[in-house]
Structure formats: structure tokens, C-alpha cells
Amino acid sequence: MDAMARRFFIQSVGCQMNILDSELVAAELLRAGHTQVDAIGRADTILLNTCSVRQHAEDKIYSLLGRLKEIKQERPELIIGVLGCMAQKDRHEIFRRAPHVDLVVGPGQLGQLTALIERVAAGGGPQLEISLDRIGSDRASVERSFVQFAPDRTAVRRPAPHQAMVRIMFGCDKFCTYCVVPRVRGPEQSRPAAEILDEVRRLADNGCLEVTLLGQTVNSYRDTTGPRTIELADLLYMLHGIDGIRRLRFVTNHPKHTTAALLQAMRDLPKVSPYLHVPAQSGSNAILERMKRGYTVEFYREMLARIHEMLPHAAVTSDFIVGFCGETEEDFRQTADLVRDARFKNSFIFKYSGRPGTKADELYVDDVPEAVKRRQNNELLAIQNAISLEDNQPLLGRTVEILVEGPSKVAKKRSARDSSRSKGEGIVQLVGRTTCDRIVVFEGSTELIGRILPVTIEKIDAFTLFGQASMTS
């Protein structure tokens, strides 16, 4: 191994974009001859890929950085890097609060990471690489400064070879007033369809069965580089033709862009999963307006009706924020009504967290007490969980088709505990997903990982289906 080769550990928090970025960063570093390790204690390079969406995510990183200070004192040769959204948002602040950090690299500069690590290792001192702020420079310059990072990851062994996330667009232009994403991930830029096709073909050649297309508002995808505009629906038709790919999914949708053409593509293309994550955020028009979401609750309900009409078996999931600035109990009641009526497969519920640099933080007061946010969060969760449990009930006794993803959390914990575990083909608890994104747990041989197979459901709860593989050959 070359003398400069390093052992890196990478930890990711935040959304799927971040998980993908970490995979791409790891692929680049592996290609450059470095080695990935799964424990901080064995690493000489520690990379934290961070999230800024809520204060809590940032607090966790600062506290982890606090703990790393001592380790760095004992091993000064250790390189510590802060990557991703917090790096873009907090930049110098990170060096100020954690002077033992060597690298601060924003999500639009990840392509430089390999070179930056080398620079630090060669004694070049702390390195900061971030993209331009959205205010103060022209759009074209800001776009260029968020450099699109899409290295070839098929050259190295991928963590889950049968599944892949593929980014189809970068950034966001919606500027919802609560959201830090447009600031930290830059302007919305769609990747050319040809590039995406090429990437998915390469992944399919590598054994990938399921592709999840990623975008902050994935259904506003628009490739205008060719003679004809290619929207998400068109892209799905194009990707559908790739041999080897069995499942196509896409997240996260914006209600305004859930077009008839997209629903038609979902209905017509058997490889496209009947699953739509379309965050509503609130059921109150006053709040939706203050959030600058660009739709009313009536529009959202009509969109749901259109989805169910075209795709009667589709699973729809949503995100909600409780305790937004100025929100009243009556606003919250309207959100609860929407959750009750919509019967989402699942809802992700968040307590509002003021984010510096957003319009809400500038214009409004974060005036809903924490105790009220907590109570509303629990109330909404209870409503959603009761619905999820009821709607899973009809699946009892049914056979569903799943893609086997790997050992379940329980099995992973068990094998971590059992140091004398055999690396053979034992029977373990496995986890897979239906095309509707339902999680299925069952017992089976690890040889089944990466296979699509039928499982008969024997037990359910609100979040998980428990079953038995109908076919184990």
C-alpha cells in the first residue's frame, strides 16, 4: 500500500442525499487507494457528513466533535473532517467551536475531498472549501460553485450491490420559509438524462435491481439540454427499458409537481413502485401560506384523490411540521384532520426548529412552546400509528413480493454481540421491502440477500410485517 494511504471512517446523519454523498465520497477515497474502517478507533481520518435541517442534528455533531477533541490530543496525526450541509452553513464557526477540525467541506465541494485530505496530511493546515452564498452572487456563478459530484462508484464494491440511490437533481429553489436546504445545497439543477441513463446502466451491469432516484423536489426534474424537455415521467420511461433493473422509485415529491403524466407513467410502467412520498407539512391554509408551500390544503386533498383514482394500490407517505411560528391549536386540528382523512401509509412528524438564514427565522417568532410541540407531535403520531396498524391488517395471510435487503437490526445487533459468529450461510432474521415501501422481516439464509421473493405475512404491527419466505430455493 502506498505510504500516503489512509484508513478513513465516515459517519452520516440526515437525509438520503447525505447517505448517497457518503457512499460517493467513500467510493472516491477507495479508488484513490485508501481503506474504509468501521470504527473511529481504527481510523486515522474521521469524516462526519452532517445535516442542518434541525437544530438537534447540529447539536449532535458539535457534541461528537467535542468528544473527538481528546482523541485528537492523543493522536495529533488524526485528520478530522466536517462535510455536508453544516459545513456549508457554519463554515468558520466550526473551526471556532472545534479548532481540532482539519477540514470543512460543503456538499458542493465533495469532489475535492481526496486532494484536500492529502493537503492536510502533507502539513498544509486546516482546509475550508464551500460554495458561494445564494445572496450576493449571480445565479450562474452560484450554480457553478455547487459542483455536481457524481463519480463512478461501480469501480469499487458497493455496500448493497443490488440497490442504489441515484441523484437526478441537485439543490432546491422552493425556499419554503422554514427550510435551510436551498441555502446549503444550492440552486436546483437537473442532471442531463443521458448521464443518469448511463449511470443506471452501469449499476445494472453491476447487479443492481432497484434504483431510487433522488431529488429534493424530485418531481420537478427537468432536463432542458436537448431538443425536447425531459421531465420525471419521461425519464421513468427511459430508465424502464434498462435490462436488469426490476424496481424504480423516486423521492421526495412536491405536491405541485405531481402531474397527471407522472401518475400515468407510474400506472403504465410495471417496474415503477406504486409509492409516493409527498410531504404536506400542514393541514392549515394559514400555515401553508406562511410556510410558502405554494398550495392549499384543498389542492393537496385533490392531489391525493387523483393519486388514488389512477393508482388505487399506491402507498402515500408524508412529512409534517408541528409548532410552526404563529400556529394555533385550530391550525393543528386541521393538520390532524388531514392525517386522519388521508390515511397515509406513514407520516414523518417533526417539531419546528428555527434555522438561521431562513425567512421564517427572519420574519416570524418561534412562539409555540416546546411542551406544546411535543404534545402535538405525540398526538399526530398516535393518529398515524393507529391508521398504519389498521391498514396493515388486510395484509395478514397475504403473500407479498419483497427485495431482500440484508440482516434485520436485531440480527445485526446479535451478530455484533456474538464474537464467535460464523461467517457462513446461517439462518438469520432478514429484512426486505415491498414495492409499496413496507418493511418485511422474516427468517432466512443470508444467501437470499439481493433476491426478489414472495413472503407470506403472519404477523403485523404499525411499522413492520412479519412473515415467512414462501420459496427459499
Site residues (vs ligand SF4, CB under 6 A): 14-15, 17-18, 51-53, 84-85, 180-181, 184-185
For residue 54, the partner it binds in ligand SF4, ligand 5AD, none, with Cβ less than 5 to 8 A by kind, is ligand 5AD
Nearest distance from C-beta of residue 296 to ligand 5AD, angstroms: 18
For residue 146, the partner it binds in ligand SF4, ligand 5AD, none, with Cβ less than 5 to 8 A by kind, is none
Q: Which residue is nearest to ligand SF4 (CB)?
A: 14
For residue 321, the partner it binds in ligand 5AD, ligand SF4, none, with Cβ less than 5 to 8 A by kind, is ligand 5AD
Nearer to ligand 5AD, 9 or 352 (CB): 352
d(CA 159, CA 152): 14
339: phi then psi, degrees, rounded to nearest 5: -60, -40
Nearer to ligand 5AD, 364 or 466 (CB): 364
Return the C-alpha cell found at 260. Answer: 397527471
* Local structure of residue 353 (DSSP, 8 states): -
**How far from 331 is each of 208, 322, 456, CA to CA, in Å?**
44, 10, 42
Nearest distance from C-beta of residue 272 to ligand SF4, angstroms: 24
Residues 6 or more apart whose CB falls under 8 angstroms from that of 327 comprise 282, 284, 287, 352, 368
d(CA 164, CA 157): 12
Nearer to ligand 5AD, 46 or 53 (CB): 53
Please name which of 136, 173, 139, 166 lies closest in space to residue 150, comparing C-alpha atoms. 166
Nearest distance from C-beta of residue 200 to ligand SF4, angstroms: 22
**Other Cβ atoms closer than 10 A to 261:** 12
Nearest distance from C-beta of residue 18 to ligand SF4, angstroms: 4
Nearest distance from C-beta of residue 382 to ligand SF4, angstroms: 25
For residue 98, the partner it binds in ligand 5AD, ligand SF4, none, with Cβ less than 5 to 8 A by kind, is none
On whether the CB atoms of residues 18 and 49 are closer than 8 A, the answer is yes
On whether the CB atoms of residues 401 and 453 are closer than 8 A, the answer is yes
Nearest distance from C-beta of residue 188 to ligand 5AD, angstroms: 16
On whether the CB atoms of residues 183 and 207 are closer than 8 A, the answer is no
d(CA 165, CA 23): 10
For residue 353, the partner it binds in ligand 5AD, ligand SF4, none, with Cβ less than 5 to 8 A by kind, is ligand 5AD
| Residue at 458: amino acid letter | E
Of how many residues is the chain composed? 473
* Local structure of residue 159 (DSSP, 8 states): S
- Residues near ligand 5AD (CB under 6 A) are 53-54, 178-179, 279, 281, 319, 321, 350, 352-353, 355
For residue 213, the partner it binds in ligand SF4, ligand 5AD, none, with Cβ less than 5 to 8 A by kind, is none
For residue 350, the partner it binds in ligand SF4, ligand 5AD, none, with Cβ less than 5 to 8 A by kind, is ligand 5AD
For residue 319, the partner it binds in ligand 5AD, ligand SF4, none, with Cβ less than 5 to 8 A by kind, is ligand 5AD
Residues 6 or more apart whose CB falls under 8 angstroms from that of 118 comprise 4
Nearest distance from C-beta of residue 279 to ligand 5AD, angstroms: 4
Nearer to ligand 5AD, 372 or 395 (CB): 372
Return the C-alpha cell found at 128. Answer: 475550508
Nearer to ligand SF4, 52 or 273 (CB): 52
Return the C-alpha cell found at 308. Answer: 388514488
Q: What is the DSSP string of 91-116?
A: THHHHHH-TT--EEE-TT-GGGHHHH
Nearer to ligand 5AD, 127 or 217 (CB): 217
Nearest distance from C-beta of residue 398 to ligand 5AD, angstroms: 31
Nearer to ligand SF4, 358 or 388 (CB): 358
Nearer to ligand 5AD, 18 or 145 (CB): 18
On whether the CB atoms of residues 242 and 204 are closer than 8 A, the answer is yes
Nearest distance from C-beta of residue 15 to ligand SF4, angstroms: 3
* Local structure of residue 446 (DSSP, 8 states): G
d(CA 81, CA 34): 15
Nearer to ligand SF4, 53 or 236 (CB): 53
